[in-house]
Amino acid sequence: MFNRIAHRYDFLNRMLSCGQDVRWRKRLARHFPDGTNLSVLDVATGTGDVLLMLHGFGRIGRGVGIDMAEKMLDIGRAKIRARGLQETFTLKTGDAAQIPETDGTYDVVTIAFGIRNVGNTATGLAELHRVLKPNGRALILEFSLPANPAMRKLYLFYFRHILPLVGGLISGDSYAYRYLNQTVETFPYGDAFLDLMRNAGFKNVSADPLTCGIAAIYRGEKPDDR
């Protein structure tokens, strides 16, 4: 599905979110741990937007992005080449449910709007936990549902009716944008998602709501059991 919409993916992200997706990714960087020369794995990286945004903060020494959609990765690789960042970032094929990296490799693991698409959420979270170094940090950016009833009603109207129509017309794939609405409405969020993170072994979990609660950044750390 993501291969089918790759050619319009970045454009539609900006348009359908009214540019909020850029602000949310920048907010993600505020949750990074202290230090420089950090190693980062971005899971479900798509066209590499998270890694490229993080580069601007000057604290990333090495970044790897994995995704299952090759056409998305091709666009991301072209963006990386255009910025001359081939020595810093690598994009490769990989499944979030079976991350092709060794245990305890990364200081930070990120996933933006991808954890909903992992067949088994618990397995995906366990994989994020596995590839982190002790005291490493997971940062998960995902849609949620606003707590305010009026805001939730407006948001759901947009997600159910406006977004699938516009997304389908521009991308040529209406199913992809109906799928987005369906997964957002059924996916656990807030405290329920924090419980899933705790069950996967993360400590110090927290949620940072964004834009009236239509998205959130979930944060958790891997304990140092030595």
* pLDDT exceeds 90 at position 62: yes
Task: Write the CB contacts of 133 (distance below 8 Å, at least 6 apart in sequence).
Answer: 104, 105, 106, 107, 222
In this prediction, residue 16 carries a pLDDT of: 66
93 or 177: which carries more pLDDT confidence? 93
Q: What's the CATH number of domain 2-6+17-148+188-221, 2.10.210.10, 3.40.47.10, 3.40.50.150, 3.40.710.10?
A: 3.40.50.150
Q: How far, CA to CA in Å, does 177 sit from each of 16, 113, 123, 136, 173?
A: 11, 13, 25, 34, 7
Residue 73 has pLDDT above 90, yes or no: yes
Residue ranges per structural domain of the chain: 2-6+17-148+188-221
Confidence of residue 167 (pLDDT cuts 50, 70, 90): confident
What is the Cα–Cα distance from 212 to 220, expressed in whole angstroms?
22
What is residue 11's predicted lDDT score, i.e. its pLDDT?
63
Q: CA 133 → CA 7, 103, 123, 217, distances in Å?
A: 35, 8, 18, 20
- Sort strands 60-67 and 89-93 into parallel, antiparallel or unpaired: parallel
What's the rounded Cα separation, in Å, for the pair 181 and 128? Answer: 25
pLDDT of residue 216: 95
Task: Say what the pTM is.
Answer: 0.90
Residue 6 has pLDDT above 80, yes or no: no
pLDDT at 152: 87
Average pLDDT for the chain: 89
CB under 8 Å to 157, separation ≥6 — which residues?
A: none
Backbone angles phi, psi at 58, to 5 degrees: 70, 20
Q: What distance lies between CA 29 and its chain's CA centroid? A: 12
| pLDDT, tens digit, 9 for 90 and up, residues 15-60 | 667 778 888 888 999 999 988 899 999 999 999 999 998 988 888 9
| pLDDT confidence bin for 206, thresholds 50/70/90 | very high
pLDDT of residue 179: 66
pLDDT band at 186 (very low <50, low <70, confident <90, very high): confident
Sign of CA dihedral 29, 11, 85, 124: positive
